[in-house]
Amino acid sequence: MTRDVRSRQVTFCIPSFNRADLVAETLDSLLAQTDPRWEAVIVDDGSTDHSAAVIDSYAARDARIRPIARTRGPKGACTCRNVAVDNARGDYLVFLDTDDIVAPFCVAQRLTAATENPDADFIIFPALLFHDVPGDLDLWWNVQTAEDELTRQFHQDAVCQGTGPLFRRDAMLSVGGWNERLALWQDIELFFRFYIQRYRYVTRFDLPPDLHIRRSPASLSRGDFFAREKFVSRAEVVRLAARLLRDNGQADRLPQLRFMTAEIITGVARARHFDLARDLVAWAGREAIFAPEELQGLRRYVRLHRTRLVRISPLKRYASRVADAFQAPSSLGRLAHSTTPARVTPEWAMAPSAHV
């Protein structure tokens, strides 16, 4: 029997690692909710500061805050998120980081939206970026455009990230949860599974932003962005996406992976991981990700970096043109909240893409 919507609640799933300086702001924003139908499952990832003590002090004040220590591997935010899902009592999930802040009306707005969209597996809401105090950057995380969400994901112009949407817990379990093997692009891979397998979702950019995402160099995933393991992770994400497209009858969309694939190839070439570049170029050729002339340009790009001929000015300019050809337009983190509506149709969003 379906539970009465009035008895449903939201579980905030929060991985925690060494954020004693900021986690109190996140928890204060939860305690300020106008709707009491929430809980927070906070999974510590082996913090070495006094984060756990801060969280425990809040748990002593409010039983809805439930701290848990990660007791299985691998270490990382994705494992912590999956542990939180396993322990969640709510019908709906919201993933937060320990430096995010939710508006006081967040739970009320989202449970109302869930009632209005009962068939949705997840609902996407608008969010704002901030640095120190919500509103100080006056920036949308992103806005809604005329392009479909999967195309925007391919272009790295995502309308949302993994922290933010409201997910049905049963849908998150069905899709397989967070991929714990990945070192980077975990939320991109998660949304590929949701979008390509046609899970049901709605965007509610008619509503006011109820989430504030901190723009900060300190993050559970941003450290050492150009490390080899993170290039390997990105390559795995595009390979998994290609497999999903083929398995779900959408092989015609494989060329849309060229933007992300080219970014990885050019990145590993600059980092001099030429074995990774060679393997990914060969894979992309087999999968027909690129047009023949695009693939040839990327091979030359890798060769110029391997031989160091890229130091010669004309060849350096050529290499830049090759890389620039794969820069898809994006409004991510660039549009002012005060002057830009939540739903826009910028000229670039309406233009057809080549080789699609």
Q: Is 346 within 8 Å of 157 (Cβ atoms)?
A: no
d(C-alpha 104, C-alpha 107), whole Å: 8
pLDDT digits (tens, 9 = 90+) for 54-75: 999 999 999 999 999 999 999 9
CA–CA gap between residue 242 and residue 244 (Å, rounded): 5
What is the residue type of 11? Answer: T
Q: Is 93 part of any domain?
A: yes
Model pLDDT for residues 162-195, shown as the tens digit of each residue: 998 999 999 999 999 999 999 999 999 999 999 9
* 269 in a structural domain: yes
Residue 135, domain CATH: 3.90.550.10
Mean pLDDT for the stretch of residues 3-8 = 55
Query: Where among 150, 183, 214 does a domain terminate?
Result: 214
pLDDT at 218: 53
Same domain? 234 vs 98: no
354 pLDDT band (50/70/90 cuts)? very low
- Alpha-carbon 71 to chain mean position: 25
Q: Based on the domain organization, do 179 and 268 belong to the same domain?
A: no
What are the two backbone dihedrals, phi and then psi, of residue 300, each rounded to the nearest 5 degrees?
-65, -40
Mean pLDDT value across residues 106-129? 97
Interstrand relation of 92-95 and 139-140 (parallel, antiparallel or unpaired): unpaired
Neighbours of 155 (CB within 10 A): 20
Residue 344 lies in a domain: no
Q: Please state, in angstroms and as integers, the Cα–Cα distance from residue 143 to each residue in 137, 151, 156, following that order.
A: 15, 14, 13
Same domain, 246 and 203: no
Q: Tokens 């050492």 label which residue?
A: 224
Shared-domain flag, residues 110 and 173: yes
The 10s digit of each residue's pLDDT in 218-274 is 544 455 777 999 999 999 999 999 999 999 999 999 999 999 999 999 999 999 999
Range of the domain at 23: 10-214
- Tokens at 37, concatenated: 């139908």
Tokens of 126: 């608008």
- In 3D, which of 168, 12, 182 has the Cα closest to residue 87? 12
**Domain's final residue, options 214, 240, 272:** 214
Is a pLDDT exceeding 80 seen at residue 346?
Answer: no
Q: What share of the chain is helix, strand, coil (3-state, %, to 5)?
A: 45, 15, 40
Q: How far apart are the first and last CA of the chain?
A: 45
- Beta strands 166-168 and 139-140, pairing class: unpaired
User: pTM of the full predicted structure?
Assistant: 0.91
Residue 65 located in a structural domain: yes
Lookup result for tokens 């694939």: 261
User: Do the domain assignments include residue 60?
Assistant: yes
Residues written for the chain: 356
246 in the same domain as 165: no
Same-domain status, 198 and 289: no
Number of C-beta neighbours around residue 217 at 10 A: 6
| Contact assessment for residue 186 and residue 78, using Cβ atoms and an 8 Å cutoff | yes
41 and 135 inside one domain: yes
Q: Looking up tokens 């925690």, which residue turns up?
A: 16
DSSP helix/strand/coil, 89? coil
If asked whether residues 76 and 159 sit together in one domain, one would say: yes
Q: Which of 15, 18, 30, 36 is nearest to 211 (CA)?
A: 30
Same domain, 186 and 251: no
Kindly state whether residues 197 and 260 are assigned to the same domain.
no
Whether 169 maps to a domain, the answer reads yes
* Residue 340 covered by a domain: no
Domain edge (last residue) among 189, 214, 239: 214
- Count of the separate structural domains present in the chain: 2
The answer on 97 and 242 residing in a single domain is: no
Using CA atoms, how far residue 170 sits from 121, 174, 206, 252, in Å, is: 8, 6, 26, 30
The residue whose two tokens read 């030429």 is 274
Say if residues 141 and 342 touch (Cβ distance below 8 Å).
no
Token look-up 């070192």 returns 183
Together in a domain, 107 and 39: yes
pLDDT in tens, 135-161: 999 999 999 998 999 999 999 999 999
Q: What six digits make up the tokens of 121? A: 């597996």
SS3 50: coil
Task: Specify whether the CB–CB gap between 93 and 170 falls below 8 A.
Answer: no
Indicate the SS3 state at residue 313: helix
Structural domain includes residue 105: yes
